[in-house]
């Protein structure tokens, strides 16, 4: 109860902070919209290879995963800023649990991912993306979880590295291989076997596979089950680790 109340207070602090800087919401939207406008048309030329139906059905789920990843990734930068201005230190002196300190911003990131995601889905629908509401709802839950995990990792990296430069190096170093090996832009099933084998070590791969199944309206299948079986334990491990990092954080 105490923890829930703390999380609520800290969550609102972060939400207000974000709403006061709408520029970030807008720049967060530009990436998916640019992909939809400038990349999706290219896929139309590959219809023969990708199979029947609108290419957006294949492409939009990947873009949503990319958006979730991006929404979570920003928290590391903010936490470094808060370390430098003493906010983290001030919060760490309070009796609030370290888990609450972490989850306030993690849940903000995850919640803030939902509205632009819905907007992208609706916009894509105008161009022929098929809407399967039940599947999309479960997909948003899965991506909420992904955003939270990425946000917690980014926060921890920020607290450990303490320097914007080091964080940027680590994040960009991981971001490209992780997204490429998840088949975000094109399904890995059209690639060679070795690529698919490596991809199985990437948690994001399972999310992307499940995202395509869910967007297609298929709820009960192995891909969806696998994605949750990977993401749920992963989030428990990551949140526990990040709480520990918060406990030790030294400016």
Q: Which stretch binds another protein (CB under 8 A): 37-45, 88-96, 125-133, 223-231?
A: 88-96
User: For another protein, how many residues bind (rule: CB under 8 A)?
Assistant: 26
Stretch touching another protein by CB under 8 A, among 15-23, 54-62, 181-189, 212-220: 15-23
Q: Is 94 in the site for another protein (CB under 8 A)?
A: yes
Comparing CB distances to another protein, the nearer of 97 and 223 is 97
In three-state form (DSSP H/G/I as H, E/B as E, the rest C), the secondary structure along 33-63 is HHHHHHHHHHHHCCHHHHCCCCCHHHHHHHH
Helix (H, G, I), strand (E, B) or coil at 15: helix
Burial group, residue 129, by CB count within 10 angstroms (0-12, 13-18, 19+): buried
Please provide the distance, in angstroms rounded to a whole number, between the alpha carbons at the two ends of the chain. Answer: 30
Kindly state the tokens that stand for 229: 């079986």
- Report the alpha-carbon distance of residue 55 to residue 46 in Å, rounded: 9
Q: Does 92 bind another protein (CB under 8 A)?
A: yes
Residue 4 interacts with another protein (CB under 8 A)?
no
- Stretch binding another protein (CB under 8 A), from 81-89, 114-122, 133-141, 169-177: 81-89
- Which residue among 16, 118, 125, 232 contacts another protein (CB under 8 A)? 16
Q: Is 3 in the site for another protein (CB under 8 A)?
A: no
Residue written as tokens 């060679």?
192
128: nearest Cα among 210, 48, 58: 58
Does residue number 26 form part of the binding site for another protein (CB under 8 A)? Answer: no
Residues interacting with another protein, by CB under 8 A?
2, 5-6, 9-10, 13, 16-17, 20-21, 84-96, 248, 250-251
């Amino acid at each position: 109860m105490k923890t829930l109340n703390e999380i609520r207070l800290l969550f609102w602090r972060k939400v207000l902070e974000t709403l006061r800087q709408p520029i970030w919401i807008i720049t967060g939207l530009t990436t998916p919209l640019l992909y939809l406008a400038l990349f999706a048309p290219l896929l139309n030329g590959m219809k023969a290879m990708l199979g029947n139906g609108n290419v957006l059905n294949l492409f939009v789920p990947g873009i949503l995963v990319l958006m979730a990843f991006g929404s979570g990734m920003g928290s590391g930068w903010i936490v470094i800023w808060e370390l430098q201005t003493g906010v983290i230190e001030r919060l760490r002196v309070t009796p609030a649990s370290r888990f609450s300190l972490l989850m306030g911003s993690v849940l903000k990131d995850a919640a803030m991912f939902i509205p632009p995601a819905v907007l992208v889905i609706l916009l894509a629908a105008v161009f022929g993306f098929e809407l399967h509401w039940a599947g999309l709802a479960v997909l948003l839950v899965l991506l909420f979880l992904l955003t939270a995990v990425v946000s917690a990792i980014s926060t921890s990296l920020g607290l450990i590295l303490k320097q914007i430069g080091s964080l940027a190096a680590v994040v960009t170093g991981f971001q490209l291989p992780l997204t490429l090996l998840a088949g975000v832009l094109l399904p890995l099933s059209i690639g060679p076997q070795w690529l698919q084998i490596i991809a199985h070590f990437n948690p994001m791969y399972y999310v992307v596979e499940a995202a395509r199944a869910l967007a297609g309206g298929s709820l009960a299948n192995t891909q969806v089950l696998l994605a949750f079986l990977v993401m749920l334990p992963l989030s428990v491990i990551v949140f526990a680790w990040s709480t520990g990092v918060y406990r030790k954080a030294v400016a």
